[in-house]
Chains A and B, each alone.
Chain A
């Protein structure tokens, strides 16, 4: 039994209306015999029988509308007559067209559908693009890939912020902490760092990765001090004097963007040693405070530190760091610059030093000073000027 579906009768015509059946169920039909007339767009088309055989079933009657591809007639080809011609030559043969149908073409077979096109088409460009990608010539990209370098890490020096071949060749990747092969501890009971100790490990690691530190050592002769001076307070004031003498060490540096942001405010972080580790509470606007106010702030810090109530906000956003470390031992040091700040002043223990004075010798109390600064953004001259300002202020009698 063979079912014949209504062939595609032409463009824009997903269906056709049956006008006349020329055969009835039970009739014998011969291949190519006119089988029925269908109407499409005001023209009537004769559809010939595709098979020889007996009409078994008509799927629709005169006046009915049949969709293209839906069954039209069943013909039993087993009974007499010559076998039907072979099936359509290949799956992608064109579907039938009726010459009288308004197929709207003299050639071929056009796919037709009622499918609706929903689209949003935007004319032209000028749309904001998402965050920019790295620009580099293909050869440079290939080179970076070969060397396992991520182009986003390479500072571009080419025109239009392009990463050049030289940039890639000169690139020395900063080893990320994560990428290091872990140092194996001997068997024992390793304890994870937490709290301030952990923060210090991260901060110091970051400093090592990024900062190019340089330290200048000098001493402040304080033998002329009036009695009753507090060293820490004087150091804070001296730092302000240093900032005024040379502003270049008070502020921030962004190594990736290569930008520097100097500040007029002097917010000094004070390194404080606690049983839990190092914390750096900040004294704000030191340049505006009197000695008494500074003393009060320092006392407040001491109290809070013991009570462990120093809040994280009180340890952020400082422009300079002071490390007054000499209470127990230590004269000079190479204090670590805390990114993104530019400099840190370390003050060691006050000593009685033998100093030459006008052809003789005396012993004077002196504060050893160690100024570390980020040489990426501050020059030696700037650091010395700063230090001179610090020393000059420290050496005042009050």
Chain B
């Protein structure tokens, strides 16, 4: 017995022909949508259209390139730390550097960032320290009390809940008349969550100063985009909410930043939210405990590696004479030093005292919980004989 029998119209007629919604000749078109795509540098680093203003300033590009490199060096180190028992499970950002740095570079300090859990490039741009990322994945809450703007949201593991937070922050800014924007980042898988749609809907109907970034890296752990959604682009999910959506090459930092700057300007001007879909590829496993080789074709991964963001930007910078091998080596060396210093700071951070479990539950710990706090302290760090 077939569990999902085919529609009557198609049975017995050979290969399945999609059943039309209605006889199309009788329809009058009342709404249409278009999704635009943007790319400035092709995978080889060659410009394919006129570069936006910021990209004509090599210093701007160099700043982004340096941070992308630093993020990658950090990322590699973090994976190694996990492999040698010094870090807990870690979510790598390998391949996403342009998407993340492009977002961070476009934002202002007074804007509010609601990340997922991978966007180190954006966060480093905003002032978060490497050691704080390590503390977080190292199992210490102080990691979430990170440097950078104090109003930024913490890392968010329950998928898509951060989108609603961004919508709420944007609502606060609008109500108070502040020229500030809220930006959230979510993955392709996260766009299936109810929270995501609810955030778009609210932002659009209230014309909130928000930008919803979808970093589409084609995989939600082991679930490929093809069975995640039937939508041709993720950008078009904005259409359902009545807001604009654009798709950009997420491996092209110029395209990402350009789209973000436009979207943020729109939002700041009071014209409402935008969805920016940055298409890239998850070159790493989902986290250090995942094994993507179980479900991914290595050829696909290799092909994606050819599109990766650092290579193309470097090639472009070299082509305009703004970069060379010596500078590359010097940069790598500086990054390594910086990363080592961060690791040292992380590793030398002692575990919090036992009472710390209670100290931030409320502004003032309720009296009823004093006894538990004392118990926890009494049993102390080695109260955990298990």
Direct contact of A and B (CB under 8 A): yes
Q: Which residues of A contact B (CB under 8 A)?
A: 7-8, 10, 32, 43, 45-48, 50, 82, 85-86, 88-90, 92-103, 105-109
Measured CB to CB, the closest approach of chain B to A243, in angstroms, equals: 70
Residue of B nearest to A111 (CB): B386
Q: A43-B293, A85-B344, A102-B291 are in contact. Are A7 and B85 (CB under 8 A)?
A: yes
Tell me, in angstroms, the Cα distance from A102 to B285 when the chains sit together.
Answer: 12
Residue of A nearest to B290 (CB): A106
A48, A97, A100, most chain B CB atoms within 10 A:
A97
Q: Interface 1/0s, chain B 292-335, versus A by CB < 8 A?
A: 11100000000000000000000000000000000000000000
Question: Is A108 touching B289 in the complex (CB atoms < 8 A)?
Answer: yes
Question: Is B85 touching A86 in the complex (CB atoms < 8 A)?
Answer: no
Question: Is A10 touching B77 in the complex (CB atoms < 8 A)?
Answer: no
Q: Interface 1/0s, chain B 69-104, versus A by CB < 8 A?
A: 000000011011011111011000000000000000
Measured CB to CB, the closest approach of chain A to B282, in angstroms, equals: 12
User: Please, which residues of chain A bring their CB within 8 A of the CB of B294?
Assistant: 43, 102
Q: Interface 1/0s, chain B 152-193, versus A by CB < 8 A?
A: 000000000000000000000000000000000000000000
User: Please, which residues of chain A bring their CB within 8 A of the CB of B373?
Assistant: none
Q: Which label, helix, strand, loop or mixed, suits the secondary structure of the B interface?
A: loop
Measured CB to CB, the closest approach of chain A to B32, in angstroms, equals: 40
User: Please, which residues of chain B bring their CB within 8 A of the CB of A105?
Assistant: 289
Q: A85-B347, A108-B88 are in contact. Are A103 and B291 (CB under 8 A)?
A: yes
Residue of B nearest to A34 (CB): B80
Tell me, in angstroms, the Cα distance from A46 to B80 when the chains sit together.
Answer: 10
Question: Is B289 touching A106 in the complex (CB atoms < 8 A)?
Answer: yes
B139, B287, B347: the one within 8 Å of A99 (CB): B287
Residue B138, interface by CB 8 Å? yes
Question: Is A97 touching B80 in the complex (CB atoms < 8 A)?
Answer: no
A32, A47, A101, most chain B CB atoms within 10 A:
A32
Residue B338, interface by CB 8 Å? no
Measured CB to CB, the closest approach of chain A to B141, in angstroms, equals: 15
Measured CB to CB, the closest approach of chain A to B143, in angstroms, equals: 13
Question: Is B88 touching A50 in the complex (CB atoms < 8 A)?
Answer: no
Question: Is B293 touching A100 in the complex (CB atoms < 8 A)?
Answer: yes
A82, A85, A103, A109: the one within 8 Å of B86 (CB): A85
B76, B84, B286: the one within 8 Å of A96 (CB): B84
Residue B361, interface by CB 8 Å? no
Question: Is A100 touching B291 in the complex (CB atoms < 8 A)?
Answer: yes
Measured CB to CB, the closest approach of chain A to B235, in angstroms, equals: 28
Q: Interface 1/0s, chain B 259-291, versus A by CB < 8 A?
A: 000000000000000000000000011111111
User: Please, which residues of chain B bring their CB within 8 A of the CB of A45?
Assistant: 83
Question: Is A109 touching B88 in the complex (CB atoms < 8 A)?
Answer: yes
User: Please, which residues of chain B bring their CB within 8 A of the CB of A98?
Assistant: 83, 288
Question: Is B79 touching A99 in the complex (CB atoms < 8 A)?
Answer: yes
Tell me, in angstroms, the Cα distance from A98 to B79 when the chains sit together.
Answer: 9
A-B contact pairs, 16 of them (CB 8 A): A45-B83, A85-B86, A85-B340, A89-B86, A93-B86, A96-B84, A97-B288, A99-B284, A99-B287, A99-B292, A100-B291, A100-B293, A101-B291, A106-B221, A106-B289, A109-B289
Measured CB to CB, the closest approach of chain B to A72, in angstroms, equals: 11
Residue B343, interface by CB 8 Å? yes
User: Please, which residues of chain B bring their CB within 8 A of the CB of A8?
Assistant: 85
User: Please, which residues of chain B bring their CB within 8 A of the CB of A10?
Assistant: 289
Residue B48, interface by CB 8 Å? no
Tell me, in angstroms, the Cα distance from A102 to B222 when the chains sit together.
Answer: 14
Question: Is B348 touching A86 in the complex (CB atoms < 8 A)?
Answer: yes
Residue of A nearest to B347 (CB): A86
Measured CB to CB, the closest approach of chain A to B86, in angstroms, equals: 5
User: Please, which residues of chain B bring their CB within 8 A of the CB of A106?
Assistant: 89, 221, 286-287, 289-290
Question: Is A89 touching B347 in the complex (CB atoms < 8 A)?
Answer: yes
Question: Is B88 touching A94 in the complex (CB atoms < 8 A)?
Answer: yes
Compute the total of residue contacts between A and B using a CB distance below 8 Å.
Answer: 91
Question: Is A99 touching B77 in the complex (CB atoms < 8 A)?
Answer: no
User: Please, which residues of chain B bring their CB within 8 A of the CB of A95?
Assistant: 85
User: Please, which residues of chain A bring their CB within 8 A of the CB of B85?
Assistant: 7-8, 88, 93-96
User: Please, which residues of chain B bring their CB within 8 A of the CB of A102?
Assistant: 291, 294
Tell me, in angstroms, the Cα distance from A52 to B115 when the chains sit together.
Answer: 35
Q: A48-B80, A88-B86 are in contact. Are A99 and B348 (CB under 8 A)?
A: no
Q: A106-B290, A109-B88 are in contact. Are A89 and B138 (CB under 8 A)?
A: yes
Q: A43-B291, A105-B289, A107-B287 are in contact. Are A85 and B343 (CB under 8 A)?
A: yes
Given A85-B343, A99-B79; 7 other pairs, CB 8 A cutoff = A43-B293, A48-B80, A50-B84, A95-B85, A99-B292, A100-B293, A108-B289
Question: Is A97 touching B89 in the complex (CB atoms < 8 A)?
Answer: yes
Measured CB to CB, the closest approach of chain A to B158, in angstroms, equals: 13
Tell me, in angstroms, the Cα distance from A103 to B286 when the chains sit together.
Answer: 13
Residue of A nearest to B346 (CB): A89
Measured CB to CB, the closest approach of chain B to A26, in angstroms, equals: 22
Residue of A nearest to B348 (CB): A86
Measured CB to CB, the closest approach of chain A to B155, in angstroms, equals: 14
Measured CB to CB, the closest approach of chain B to A39, in angstroms, equals: 12
Question: Is B344 touching A99 in the complex (CB atoms < 8 A)?
Answer: no
A46, A47, A48, A101, most chain B CB atoms within 10 A:
A48
Question: Is A96 touching B82 in the complex (CB atoms < 8 A)?
Answer: yes
Question: Is B86 touching A99 in the complex (CB atoms < 8 A)?
Answer: no
User: Please, which residues of chain B bring their CB within 8 A of the CB of A109?
Assistant: 88-89, 289
Tell me, in angstroms, the Cα distance from A108 to B89 when the chains sit together.
Answer: 5
Tell me, in angstroms, the Cα distance from A95 to B81 when the chains sit together.
Answer: 10
Tell me, in angstroms, the Cα distance from A93 to B83 when the chains sit together.
Answer: 12
User: Please, which residues of chain B bring their CB within 8 A of the CB of A100?
Assistant: 285, 291, 293
Tell me, in angstroms, the Cα distance from A103 to B82 when the chains sit together.
Answer: 13
User: Please, which residues of chain A bring their CB within 8 A of the CB of B285?
Assistant: 99-100
Residue of B nearest to A8 (CB): B85
User: Please, which residues of chain B bring their CB within 8 A of the CB of A50?
Assistant: 84
User: Please, which residues of chain B bring their CB within 8 A of the CB of A96?
Assistant: 82-85
Measured CB to CB, the closest approach of chain B to A66, in angstroms, equals: 16
User: Please, which residues of chain B bring their CB within 8 A of the CB of A94?
Assistant: 85, 88-89
Tell me, in angstroms, the Cα distance from A85 to B346 when the chains sit together.
Answer: 11
Q: Interface 1/0s, chain B 202-215, versus A by CB < 8 A?
A: 00000000000000
Residue B351, interface by CB 8 Å? yes
B84, B340, B343: the one within 8 Å of A7 (CB): B84
User: Please, which residues of chain A bring their CB within 8 A of the CB of B292?
Assistant: 99
Question: Is B289 touching A97 in the complex (CB atoms < 8 A)?
Answer: yes
Residue B14, interface by CB 8 Å? no
A85, A89, A107: the one within 8 Å of B289 (CB): A107
